Amino acid sequence: MTMPRSRSFVQVDVFSTLPYRGNPVAVVLDGTDLSDEDMQRLARWTNLSETTFVLPPTVPEADYRLRIFTPEAELPFAGHPTLGSARAWLDDGGTPQHADRIVQECAAGLVTVRRGEDTLSFAAPPRVRDGALDDAYLDQVVAAFGITRERVLAHQWVDNGPGWAVVRLATAEEVLALEPDLSLIPTAMVGAIGAHPEGGEHHFELRTFAPGAGVAEDPACGSMNAGVGQWLTASGAAPSSYRVSQGARLGRAASIEITADMDGTVWVSGAATVCIRGIITL
């Protein structure tokens, strides 16, 4: 058994320029010598949507390796933990191999993170499942959301690892009004997106429900925004660059920017600010 020792620990607020209005991620900056059980125990204790552990890379292309845990299980990839952990690693003195980008190794593969003046951006990983939802699952989702199928403009699997699916409603107002009964979809990883009126700062409102990961509602979800961004930009349902607001029902003010390059790569961007620095004994 490894003896406990002190390790650097931070919490990073992701996807908001307003203090403590985004989505927090806990980051242990030295995850070496920790077992899977150690990591899961801490993630359950922090009770945040994700807790991450930074480790040495196992491939030469990567700057570091990241393991990502919800209170219930390990994820192969997650968006806001990717940006938050990159910010934590940089602030801790990490030096990437390339000045303009960071390469993160995780269970889903290599993820590129670009450095901007005030934001970080990750390249959306490939989806492992896409296409329309089957009728039975869609019926479950709309029943849990307390709406009828007629209000669903479109629906899609947007799964890049966690298991995401999404339904598109007509308006942001409809999305914000949802009062889902998650007991009807206890293993689901599902979201709802709707358009804001034209002329505002944000194009869409997104809500993300993850009872399957032990998180009732995620205040700002990078991985779902990544998969939804790939779907909407490729289908022409959204412009190649747009902004999403998220978290209002939870008292948050997240802002996520989606940009699709000419080659089809979708980038998910947002602010990431270290709010808590300290030492944790593990």
Domains of the chain: 6-124+270-281 (3.10.310.10), 135-266 (3.10.310.10)
Kindly give the residue spans of alpha helices, DSSP state H, lying in the chain. Answer: 36-46, 79-91, 135-145, 172-177, 222-235
Which residue numbers are catalytic? 50
Q: What is the mean pLDDT of each run of 10 residues along the chain (282 residues)?
A: 87 96 98 97 95 98 97 92 98 96 95 93 95 98 98 97 95 98 97 97 97 91 97 97 98 98 96 97 96
DSSP assigned state of 21? -
pLDDT at 1: 53
**Count of alpha carbons within 13 angstroms of residue 113, beta-carbon side:** 31
Pairing of strands 23-28, 51-55: parallel
pLDDT at 2: 65
Q: Which of 20, 51, 8 is nearest to 273 (CA)?
A: 20
Tokens of 108: 């889903």
pLDDT at 213: 85
CB atoms within 10 A of CB 12: 26
Identify the bridge partners of residue 243 per DSSP, sorted by sequence position: 257
Tokens of 125: 């990983």
pTM for the model:
0.94
